[in-house]
């Protein structure tokens, strides 16, 4: 998408809604939040033509018809997340919102009546409520309808839109009851009633400000909008704009990672649309160089095979088809006309019934979608983009590979202690994996559906990731406050025809220990293959035990060194910091040379990690599942490379996808690693890796200098020149 | 399909090839095995019209073009299964076969030349070969090109067809060399050179007789055909017809199970077509009431979600798209014109370039496919259909459920000791699972790609299945000879609107112990739900320990009794008969009443097994993986219900699919079992189960009598009447 076309677009948009603004200062027209009166006219016009839009309309109408045939149920709040009353109230706000849309499109009174009656029931119930009986005493502000105020804010975001959609079908008496007994009290409860959450620069704050701000537009309370935008005291220290400034990096990366990024996206996108429609002069879409659009695009980039990269507290099945991102992509296409977004919209398979949704639907009808391009990119972290970065490397040379490298900031309370960790993906699957969050969302039997205790005791701990653990303690000693204050540094990132390389470091994860990692996704074009090179250097001021785990997905196939397996009895590997959850299945200390571990993934491909070892690295094979009395953990596999009593160590390895296992067609190809040699050396700041693979002899050079100017060097009597960070050279064939 | 239409079809087919027969006794026309001269004419006519057939032709031609651009490689045999020379010779015969077809269709000489040149290279190599260096000394006859003669027979099946296809493009001198130095020696090596395999009533024998018999047609050796059909001594004790008589049950069930059934299918189907084309008077398709067609259809029925039920030694990823079944379905459609087969052909997505394949392709082009119907059926086992049965129950009431019940015979050397075991499937996934075979096909590092030692030590053992183990020893004490002689009895099978019920028993699995199991897949239509009822009765002449394992797929969610988990250390559950491979993760003895175990499957649904216990059943939670120094086993989960020191026990339980876990859309529904009561009683031969579920009160009645006539009975002062085996009644609501 071109930024200039975006800006033209934004200006045009700004002009066309001048009329709507005027009405904010006098009497608001309805609807005028995400959906405007003029949208409604266009949408009604599209209902009779065949296509994605009318299809979605008719299917939603049929759904709503089915639902509103049942009696309205507005239960007295009782249950926590996942429980009956919780789910019922969630369902109610969605239903009101949908019925409101169907009312506007069908112009049939019964839908408005349904929303009206439900609102009136809520208006009767709400004044009688105290805070929720299942509230969490310490960690979160409570709601009244819901155990946590976050859900109450979500309720308001949907309900205020539903009310806006049916407003003109109500009598003055009805609007009066609904506003006085329900909507105003909820808005006040969520704003002045809980200043810490409302003013907080955090996604919970965004939901609250979005709900309250939109209520301000609908109920003609400009003060509420001001407070929503600038903090309760209008200082600008909190509020929606501060959230936009602080929660995203300049590239639109959200500090907590993609799982929460997509979650946070909806109130941002929703409220921003409402602002644009009511007060275009605020130029909200242009705010901070269009950061909101960047945030939407970044959310897409942070996915692989439709699922978000599961860094930090993330439930792994969340992906681009999540409703929040459907809204986001809808707005992104409307703002930019970039047909790549239609590709994503097609994969999402959901059409939003809004003005922007109509645009998407009509473009899809015309077959305008073009492939969305996933790129190799380093997303700067932190509000200034300088607190490290989240790095994504991609290659389509052989398969569909993605390498995630995380010299990123802690990411607040949902962050994991996983500085410099990595993940690897190929052919649609996780290969080197991250546990994600330990949680069964809304499953009552699993700790009430909340984050499990094992989320803290295992999933967040360093050993649950693919990065160095010093002396069996987690980064920052597991202290999230310290973590939030100390981000890694991104040393460099470069992508070229040779592949992608990046380096990051951190000296604050452990006192007196420097951790520096360079990862490269290297294209070996003569072999039509890709390998991932991993160079992890640890330098400490005194001797430590260093562990580098690799959590792999698949079945162990082979090691080129003999394993001593624990076949009769298993013990936990340690007693704290996550180690208490690992069974030790086998161990070995391979002799000097190449140590290979091969596994077979469900995608039918083999993967071999070849490590260059000096005879001092032990390999410990683990399985998750110890100290797990309630069977809360998934029993996944890994191996830990361990060196003890050392001040300095380099973990050097290459990960190689190879071959194919196809029992259905009864063939197996190249089940053995093709790597026959791996050497590592350094010439000043030039890192040189010799790699012999499949009878080809490669030299891989990485320029580690602070500034990478063009550089010449000699290796084995041959001259080479490197312009940039990464060079891949075919040496004399062997 | 109607059998009469099949028979008309068969007769018509018989008449149209009379010409071809005559030539057998004089000089054979070419080609005339699976593909005939008249097929070729029709196929050539279809190449220029758009459609499945020409598409497949062009894609295969492109593939062949790519392959024949490389030099011909016919290496000296050296490697075992999965190794280079093994795979190369496999590739070669497939390539010759394909190039032969492309020659016939394109009429371009270069394809014939390629086959010719490769055959001549083989003709040079073959006379120099001794038996294969990697032969297995004891267990199988060796080949010369391959380590086992089975592969050599497969080579001949393809190669003789390739030769037949290019025959008319060769000079007399060339045919002479190829026949004298290669094809005749191979045919003789596979027949008189290995009488035990050739005469064996076993799928290895089928490949050999098919290859040799077709060679007889092509090289005008009627004697070879006679020997292939009736044993080397033409006694009829062995040979292809005996194999057709003995290896399939009257319903077309193959004794070893579907994994080997589909494998065995190809030589049966291939040779049968060659016989029909050359000697229609043998009426091979009508043999044994059309058993071959039944065998094809049964193979399809023995699949779920595209994959074969993995009983016995089965690799789980094998399914209906396997090339053997593509050939089978092609022939089945051609014989019957049953458009349900087109549904399967569509799912297979592969078109055979043959006369029958053309018929399938043209029917698919016309959109004639209709849904194939999967049925609830008991497939009688054994050549007389009386050695027990393999029972499949299906329901589409809520999801897509299949229940497999196995009161079937041992199934020769690949059979498992799993009498009366069951498996359960829902929404595309395994829920109650079978390990299948322990094998990584052709993966050299995993025991040379052969069956792993753990196939014997674990996968075949009784405890690896979902059936009763007495005193921690396997059925028949693990002796396959004894197993082959002692099949269970199928007591009854019935399918009706109430669901499907079946009962089987065996008294020879353990000395002095009667095992009797009744399984029912019950429709609860008021709840739009299905449950599986399991009644397993054990009666012994002295006290034993009885274990009933249930291997579940998914994550344990909850138990309604407290578990005592082994959190710091795990030990193997036993030291032999498969128990040495199970870690004991937790145990408990629930008190009298209902004992529930709930798990969550990857399909997003919850499953709860509710057992009716007396306080005497212990529950042992296990994970596979002990005594596994080479990481050969998958680490799957199960629980074992155990009673000790008892002469008599009834294991009573109900399996209930429920709810939905949808973290992507952030909702969880009905995560808890709805079963609130389960009672079991007996009135004479009437088994009565009361089931309270979701506030409905059901009575399930099963008539266990030898003959089930209409029966009336009273239960809790109400009168009921049952006409058949299974009745489901709604009692007064609770």
The two three-digit tokens of residue A552, written as one number? 């792999």
Task: Look at residue A315 and tell me if it is in a domain.
Answer: no
The catalytic position among A414, A416, A581, A658 is A414
The verdict on residue B580 lying in a domain is yes
| Helices B3-16 + B323-336 axis angle, to 10 | 90
Q: Are A582 and A622 in contact (CB under 8 A)?
A: yes
Q: What is the DSSP string of B405-446?
A: EE-B---GGG--S-TTEEEEEETTEEEE------B-TT-TTT
- 3-state secondary structure string across A259-288: HHHHHHHHHHHHHHHHHHHHCHHHCHHHHH
CA distance B97 to B86: 17
> Among B154, B174, B189, where does a domain finish?
B189
Q: What average pLDDT does range B433-459 have in this prediction? A: 95
- B710-721 per-position pLDDT tens digit: 999 999 999 999
Which stretches in chain A have pLDDT values below 50?
1-23, 25-27, 734
Counted domains in chain A: 2
Q: Which residue on chain A is closest to B626 by alpha carbon?
A: A567
What pLDDT score does A10 carry? 42
What rounded mean pLDDT belongs to chain B? 94
Considering the entire predicted model, what is its pTM?
A: 0.91
Q: What is the mean pLDDT of residues B593-609?
A: 98
Could you tell me the CA-to-CA distances from A702 to A122, A328, A390, A503, A726 in Å, in that order? 64, 38, 20, 10, 5
DSSP-based three-state secondary structure for A253: coil
Q: Residue B468, exposed/middle/buried by CB under 10 A (0-12, 13-18, 19+)?
A: buried
CA distance A726 to A703: 7
Does B516 reside within a domain?
Answer: yes
Report pLDDT for A28: 59
Residue A511 DSSP code:
T
Residue A105 lies in a domain: yes
Select the residue of A565, A629, A668 nearest B443 (Cβ to Cβ): A668
Assess whether A435 carries a catalytic annotation: no
The C-alpha of B278 sits at a distance from chain A's nearest C-alpha, in angstroms, of 30
Cβ contact (<8 Å) for B443 and A665? no
How close does chain B come to A81, measured CA to CA in Å?
10
In a domain, A226, yes or no: no
Whether residue A666 and residue B442 make contact (CB cut-off 8 A), yes or no, is: yes
> Is A315 part of the contact surface with chain B (CB cutoff 8 Å)?
yes
Distance from CA of A675 to the nearest CA of B (A): 16
Q: What is the mean pLDDT of residues B189-216?
A: 95
Examine residue B723 and state whether it is found in any structural domain, yes or no.
Answer: yes
Q: What's the average model confidence in pLDDT over B333-349?
A: 97
Confidence of residue B255 (pLDDT cuts 50, 70, 90): confident
A579 lies in a domain? yes
Catalytic residue of the set B132, B202, B414, B416 = B414
Cα nearest neighbour of A637 on chain B:
B635
Q: What is the pLDDT of residues B602-643, one digit of tens each?
A: 999 999 999 999 999 999 999 999 999 999 999 999 999 999
Residue B184 near residue B218 (C-beta atoms within 8 A): no
Q: Which of B315, B558, B623 is opposite residue A635, by nearest beta carbon?
A: B623
pLDDT at B24: 56
Domain span including residue B75: 24-189
Stretch 694-723 of chain B: residues touching chain A, C-beta under 8 Å: none
Partner residue facing B663 (CB), from A318, A557, A586: A318
Q: Can you tell me the distance from the alpha carbon of B671 to that of B554, in angstroms, rounded to the nearest whole number?
A: 14
Rounded distance between C-alpha atoms, residue A155 and residue A92, angstroms: 9
Q: Of A81-85, A505-509, B61-65, B349-353, where does mean pLDDT reach its minimum?
A: A81-85
The predicted structure's pLDDT at residue B28: 59
Does B442 sit within 8 Å of A668, measured CB to CB? yes
Does residue A573 belong to the interface with chain B, where contact is any CB pair within 8 Å? no
Give the mean pLDDT of chain A. Answer: 94
pLDDT at B664: 84
Task: Return the residue matching tokens 């069956």.
Answer: B451
Residue A637 within a domain: yes
Interface-testing mutation among A324, A627, A666, with chain B (most B C-beta atoms within 10 A) = A666
CB B625 within 8 A of CB A404: no
Is B414 labeled as catalytic in the residue annotation? yes
Domain boundary among B189, B216, B242: B189
Tell me which of B189, B205, B235 is where a domain ends: B189
Please answer whether residues B546 and B642 qualify as being in contact, where contact means their C-beta atoms are separated by less than 8 angstroms: yes
Size of interface A-B (CB pairs under 8 A): 151
Q: What is the CATH number of the domain that holds B73?
A: 1.50.10.100
Mean pLDDT, residues B561-583 taken together: 97
Supply the pLDDT for residue B399. 85
Eight-state DSSP code of residue B733: -
- Cα gap A463→B456, rounded to integer Å: 36
Confidence of residue B197 (pLDDT cuts 50, 70, 90): very high
For A620-655, the pLDDT digits (tens) are 999 999 999 999 999 999 999 999 999 999 999 999
Token representation of residue B588 = 């408990």
d(CA A92, CA A115): 9
Contacts of B671 in chain A (CB under 8 A): 82, 442-445
Per DSSP, the residues of B96-136 read: HHHHHHHHHHH--HHHHHHHHHHHHHHHHHGGG--S-TT--
ipTM of this complex: 0.90
Nearest by CB to B572, which of A557, A568, A672?
A568
Peptide bond before residue B31 is cis, with ω within 30 degrees of 0: yes
Residue A555 to residue B449, Cβ atoms within 8 A: no
Is A529 in a helix, a strand, or coil?
strand
Sequence-ordered list of residues with C-beta below 8 angstroms from that of A706, at least 6 positions apart, any chain: none
Q: What is the CATH number of the domain that holds A623?
A: 2.70.98.70
């Amino acid at each position: 998408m071109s930024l200039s076309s975006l800006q033209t677009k934004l200006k045009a948009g700004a002009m066309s809604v001048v009329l709507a603004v005027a009405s904010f200062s006098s009497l608001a027209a309805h609807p005028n939040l995400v959906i405007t009166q003029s949208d409604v006219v266009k949408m009604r016009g599209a209902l009779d033509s065949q296509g994605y839009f009318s299809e979605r309309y008719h299917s939603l109408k049929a759904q709503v018809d089915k639902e509103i045939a049942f009696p309205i149920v507005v239960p007295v709040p009782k249950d926590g997340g996942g429980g009956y009353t919780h789910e019922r109230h969630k369902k109610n706000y969605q239903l009101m919102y949908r019925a409101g849309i169907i009312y506007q499109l069908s112009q049939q009174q019964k839908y408005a009546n349904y929303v009206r009656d439900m609102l009136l029931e809520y208006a009767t119930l709400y004044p009688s409520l105290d805070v929720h009986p299942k509230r969490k005493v310490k960690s979160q502000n409570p709601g009244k309808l819901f155990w946590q105020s976050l859900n109450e804010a979500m309720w308001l975001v949907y309900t205020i839109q539903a009310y806006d959609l049916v407003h003109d079908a109500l009598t003055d008496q009805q609007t009066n009851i609904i506003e006085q007994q329900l909507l105003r009290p909820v808005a006040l409860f969520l704003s002045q009633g809980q200043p810490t959450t409302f003013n907080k620069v955090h996604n919970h704050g965004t939901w609250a400000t979005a709900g309250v701000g939109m209520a301000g537009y609908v109920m003609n309370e400009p003060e509420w909008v001001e407070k929503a935008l600038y903090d309760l005291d209008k200082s600008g220290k909190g509020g929606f704009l501060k959230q936009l400034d602080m929660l995203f990096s300049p590239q639109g990366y959200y500090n907590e990672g993609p799982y929460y990024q997509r979650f946070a996206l909806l109130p941002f996108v929703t409220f921003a649309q409402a602002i644009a429609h009511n007060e275009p002069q605020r130029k909200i879409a242009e705010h901070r160089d269009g950061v909101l659009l960047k945030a939407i695009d970044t959310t897409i980039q942070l996915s692989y095979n439709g699922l978000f990269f599961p860094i930090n507290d993330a439930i792994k099945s969340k992906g681009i088809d999540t409703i929040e991102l459907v809204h986001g992509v809808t707005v992104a296409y409307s703002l930019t006309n970039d047909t790549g977004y239609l590709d994503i919209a097609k994969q999402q398979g959901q059409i939003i019934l809004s003005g922007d949704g109509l645009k998407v639907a009509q473009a899809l009808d015309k077959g305008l979608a073009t492939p969305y391009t996933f790129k190799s990119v380093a997303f700067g972290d932190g509000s200034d983009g300088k607190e490290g970065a989240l790095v994504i490397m991609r290659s389509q040379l052989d398969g569909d590979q993605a390498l995630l490298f995380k010299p990123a900031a802690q990411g607040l309370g949902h962050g994991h202690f996983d500085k410099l960790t990595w993940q690897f993906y190929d052919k649609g699957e996780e290969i080197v994996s991250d546990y994600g969050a330990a949680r069964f969302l809304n499953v009552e039997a699993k700790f009430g559906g909340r984050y499990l205790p094992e989320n803290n005791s295992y999933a967040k701990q360093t050993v649950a990731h693919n990065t160095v653990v010093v002396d069996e303690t987690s980064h920052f000693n597991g202290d999230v406050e310290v973590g939030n204050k100390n981000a890694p540094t991104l040393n460099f990132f470069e992508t070229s025809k040779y592949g992608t390389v990046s380096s990051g470091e951190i000296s604050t994860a452990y006192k007196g220990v420097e951790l520096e990692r360079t990862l490269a996704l290297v294209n070996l074009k003569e072999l039509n293959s890709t390998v991932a090179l991993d160079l992890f250097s640890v330098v400490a001021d005194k001797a430590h035990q260093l562990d580098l785990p690799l959590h792999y997905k698949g079945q162990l196939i082979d090691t080129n060194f003999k394993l001593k397996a624990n076949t009769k009895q298993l013990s936990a590997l340690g007693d704290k910091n996550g180690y208490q959850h690992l069974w030790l299945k086998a161990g070995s200390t391979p002799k000097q040379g190449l140590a290979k571990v091969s596994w077979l993934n469900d995608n039918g491909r083999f993967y071999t990690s070849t490590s260059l070892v000096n005879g001092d690295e032990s390999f410990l094979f683990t399985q998750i599942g110890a100290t797990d009395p309630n069977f809360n953990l998934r029993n996944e596999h890994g191996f830990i490379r361990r060196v003890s009593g050392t001040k300095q160590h380099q973990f050097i390895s290459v990960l190689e996808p190879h071959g194919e296992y196809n029992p259905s067609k009864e063939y197996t190809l190249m089940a053995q690693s093709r790597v026959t040699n791996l050497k590592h050396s350094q010439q000043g700041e030039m890192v040189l890796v010799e790699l012999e693979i499949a009878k080809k002899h490669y030299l891989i050079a990485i320029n580690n200098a602070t500034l990478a100017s063009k550089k010449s060097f000699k290796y084995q009597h041959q001259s080479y020149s490197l312009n940039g960070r990464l060079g891949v050279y075919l040496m004399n064939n062997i």
